[in-house]
Amino acid sequence: MRIQFGTGNVIFVPLAGNLPTPSSPRIPATIQDFNFENQGTMKELRGQSQYPDDVAVSDKKATWKMGNGRFDIDLFNNLFAGEVASTGGVVVDVNEAHTVPATNPTTVTVTNSGTFSKDLGVTYSATGQPLARVASGPAQGQYSVNSGTGVYTFALADASQGINISYAYTTTGGSIVTVQNHVQGWSPTFEIYVAETYQELTGVVPNYIHIFNARCTKFSLPLKRADYLITDLEGECFAASSGKVFELYED
């Protein structure tokens, strides 16, 4: 028996099911909280008396929750998606500033035109008012775009106007996980270790929680206007083939 302070360290180890690629143990950083909860359903045997003659536990349920201060795409894939991660992806460039040329041709080429992927809109810099996209021959307040070259065309009536262009372009860096619409049941399974290191009494032996089998039922990204992203994860535990569900260790 001892005092515990803080969350300790949490390790997720892929086991089975639809394992992601790549698949490896993950140690989340900047953990905000970890909650392991057990509950049982009580059934009562009642007669004419006010209190039951007996109570018995029927179903039991073990769940876990964690708040993580670092978004980790591999953690998401290992716990929830079970997809094949790959390099490269799409970058969104928001409000890239340009000025419509004063004379013809009134065209603007975006910075990443070589890997241009999709137009995401144009606004006037001064007012934020959006311009309308047309197929060709734009009038004042309109624009057209060549989706193959990333070249935007504006009306001569908008000459010298400051504009902000938003668009997407491809990159060979980074990592991307594309979630597919799989049949029901598609999911990785994993085990969880929670090592509680505060006030270790025997050398460097921590208290720990060991969950033998678990799945992730929720992975959310609650973005806020004036606060950090804390990724919320939660899931449910179930028995391993040995019949073991979890174990608690105390030194």
Query: Stretch 150-154: mean pLDDT, rounded?
Result: 98
pLDDT at residue 204, rounded to an integer: 62
- What CATH number did the domain enclosing 42 receive? 2.30.110
Whether residue 2 lies inside any domain: the answer is no
Do residues 167 and 212 both lie within one domain?
Answer: no
Judged against a pLDDT cut of 70, whether residue 137 lies above it is answered with yes
Judged against a pLDDT cut of 80, whether residue 59 lies above it is answered with yes
Position 249 confidence tier, pLDDT thresholds 50, 70, 90 = confident
Query: Stretch 123-145: mean pLDDT, rounded?
Result: 97
Question: Over the stretch 191-247, which tens digit does the pLDDT of each residue have?
Answer: 999 988 777 655 666 788 999 999 999 999 999 999 999 999 999 999 999 999 999
CA-nearest of 8, 66, 13, 9 to 230 is: 66
Q: Which two tokens stand for residue 45?
A: 């045997």
Do 85 and 175 meet the contact criterion of CB atoms below 8 Å apart? yes
- Domain final residue pick, 144, 174, 204: 174
CB burial string 179-210: b at 16+ within 10 A, e below: eeeeeeeebbbbbbbbbbbeeeeeeeebbbbb
Do residues 168 and 211 both lie within one domain?
Answer: no
Mean pLDDT of the chain: 93
% pLDDT > 70, the chain? 96
Domain that holds residue 69: 9-85+177-249
The domain total for the chain is 2
Predicted TM-score (pTM) of this structure: 0.82
